[in-house]
Amino acid sequence: MLRLPIDALEPGMVLAKPVIDPRGSVLLRQGVTLTDEYINKIKQRGFASIFISDGDTDDVIVEDMLSDRTRRTTQAALARVFDFVRGLTKNFVNEPVETVIAVLKDNDIVNALRGYSGFEKLEARVTAILDELAGIDMLEGIGQIRSHNDIILGHSIDTAVVGLMIGKRLHLPVADLRRLGTGCLLHDIGKIFVNPKVLSSRVDDPDLLTPAVLRRLREHPRFGYELLRSRNPDAVIANHVALEHHERQDGRGYPRRLYGTNTVDRPRFDRQNIQLIAEISTIADVYDTLSTERPGQPALTPTQVITTIRQLSGTFLNAEIVNIFLKLVPVLPTGISVVVRTGRYVGYRGVVVHANRKQPEHPVIRLLYNPNHDRIVPIEIDLSRDKTTTVEAILHQ
């Protein structure tokens, strides 16, 4: 399969992966032949790229870390929780910050939250995610395609997946992994109290992102925490993911300007620093944000993501957890597009056919285009044997 940008799609191409909307519903199934109508539908829904079946790459399998069924059912369960909370809070969603927090402590709201079974069903989805991650030890990172309109739900699921992978590498107990997964799924639920236009706006839009709007946006951790605490005050660890996922190691985060220790070990009941589970979620949140294309913010390649996270280590992100996390991230995962930088085929473009776990920068690649972007008879190169050829990841052909 080959990942192509929307502008490169043509009628007659065949989908290699289903196109799924933010609520987990299938818009177009795998194997569908694209028409002009389907291509326009994909564009209107805000997708930047999709996977297509291509005769020269049909043996290249780009796996999502979750099965389609688990991803769709989790996304649907998460959407139902968000819909319930939106319906419950619609009358005061635009009220001042302290008014919102006070209302979230109202008995009627508290009883409604505690009586809604959707939260328990969502927690059950975390167990299903953990089961599917049991035999996986690396983050592939490029198997899931999301719409520009999928600002929260898909992001929350991928943040949970990455967070759980880090938690597994830290050998957290299963109970804590479940808390971590639940916290990651709900870490952005406070954004219900933020104008949706702000969430989907370009990150550099000065007309919409005024100081007042940004102040409101920075309150979403408090909103989320107070809502989740009203629903279940005993879920301390999971609730603190929502509260602390924008805190920084150097104390310059929000909402409480807590400091981190840049270590994994700390007193179990440390209340002076950022919770470990929140520090894990922060790295997962940043990783997914950097890896995903958004309005005004192009996705980064795996190498660029790794470089950026290293730069944030110690000041923004917990340095010890970052070092552990980076061992999970492949430099050139299977399915990613590459361009040749040195050697006989400089300027040629192709795709990684087989990632190399032992030598991450030396996978097997298949060249598909010459420097003029003309399609060629495929050329396969094992970079572990041909050390004169080096490649760089690119997002699309």
DSSP string across 67-105: -HHHHHHHHHHHHHHHHHHHHHHTTTTTS-HHHHHHHTT
- The 3-state DSSP class for residue 198 equals helix
Picking from 18, 50, 44, 12, the residue whose alpha carbon sits closest to that of residue 31 is 18
- Please tell me whether residues 27 and 138 are part of one structural domain: no
Same domain for 47 and 96: no
Q: Which residue has the higher pLDDT, 44 or 352?
A: 352
Whole-angstrom Cα distance, residue 99 to residue 26?
A: 39
Q: Are residues 380 and 298 in the same domain?
A: no
Q: Are residues 153 and 197 in the same domain?
A: yes
Domain limits for position 386: 337-394
Mean pLDDT, residues 234-244: 93
Of the chain, the percentage scoring pLDDT greater than 70 comes to 93
Question: What are 394's two structure tokens?
Answer: 């690119």
Whether 44 and 73 share a structural domain: no
Residue indicated by tokens 């997708």: 47
Residues 99-107, mean pLDDT to the nearest whole number: 95
Q: Give domain status of residue 253, yes or no.
A: yes
Do 99 and 21 share a structural domain? no
Is 240 in the same domain as 210? yes
**Are 47 and 187 in the same domain?**
no
* Mean pLDDT of all residues in 174-184: 95
The answer to whether position 145 is within a domain reads yes
Q: Higher confidence at residue 294 or residue 337?
A: 337
**What's the pLDDT at 218?**
93
E-strand spans in 166-219?
none
- Residue % of the chain over a pLDDT of 90: 58
Assign 93 a pLDDT band (cuts: 50, 70, 90). Answer: confident
Q: Name the strand (E) or helix (H) holding 306.
A: helix 302-312
Residue 156 pLDDT: 94
Residue 63 within any structural domain of the chain: no
Last residue of a domain, one of 10, 26, 53: 53
47 and 90 fall within a common domain: no
Q: Can you give the pLDDT at residue 264?
A: 93
* Distance, CA of 110 to CA of 227 (rounded, Å): 8
Judgement on whether residues 305 and 352 belong to the same structural domain of the protein: no
Question: Residue 62: inside a domain, yes or no?
Answer: no
**Average pLDDT of the segment spanning 376-393:** 93
Residue 187's pLDDT is what? 96
Cα separation of 139 and 390, whole Å?
A: 22
Name the DSSP class of 313: B
Query: Is residue 349, in this structure, part of any structural domain at all?
Result: yes
Residue 61 maps to a domain: no
Predicted pLDDT at 149: 62
Confidence of residue 142 (pLDDT cuts 50, 70, 90): low
Q: In angstroms, what CA-CA distances link 269 with 19, 164, 233, 379? A: 44, 22, 17, 57
pTM higher than 0.85: yes
Domain edge (last residue) among 308, 328, 348: 328
**Phi-psi map region of 251: left, alpha, beta (phi>0 left; psi -120 to 50 alpha):** left
Average pLDDT over every residue of 217-241: 94
How far is 288 from 268, CA to CA, in rounded Å? 28
Do 164 and 296 sit in the same domain of this protein?
Answer: yes
108 pLDDT above the threshold of 60:
yes
pLDDT range class, residue 295, cuts 50, 70, 90: low
**For residue 22, what pLDDT is reported?**
76
Residue 130 C-alpha from the chain's centroid: 16
Domain membership flag for residue 60: no
Written as six digits, the tokens of 301 are 């390649």
CATH code assigned at 36: 3.90.105.10
Q: Where are the beta strands (DSSP E) in the chain?
A: 2-5, 14-15, 19-20, 26-28, 49-53, 337-342, 349-354, 364-369, 375-382, 390-394
Q: Are 189 and 199 in contact, with CB atoms under 8 Å apart?
A: no
Structural domain total, the chain: 3
Q: Residue 216: inside a domain, yes or no? A: yes
From CA 191, how far away is CA 200, in angstroms rounded? 12
Tokens standing for residue 328: 């999970």
Lookup: tokens for 323: 């070092």
Task: Based on the fold, state whether residues 13 and 116 are members of the same structural domain.
Answer: no
Residue holding tokens 């879920």?
235
- Nearest alpha-carbon partner for 367 in 381, 354, 382: 381
Boundary (domain end) residue, out of 293, 328, 363: 328
**Residue 27, pLDDT score:** 86
Sign of CA dihedral 251, 253, 258, 262: negative
Higher pLDDT, 17 or 310: 310
Residue-averaged pLDDT of the chain: 89
Q: Note the pLDDT of residue 144.
A: 64
**Greater pLDDT, 124 or 210:** 124
- CATH label of the domain that carries residue 202: 1.10.3210.10
pLDDT, residue 366, reads 95
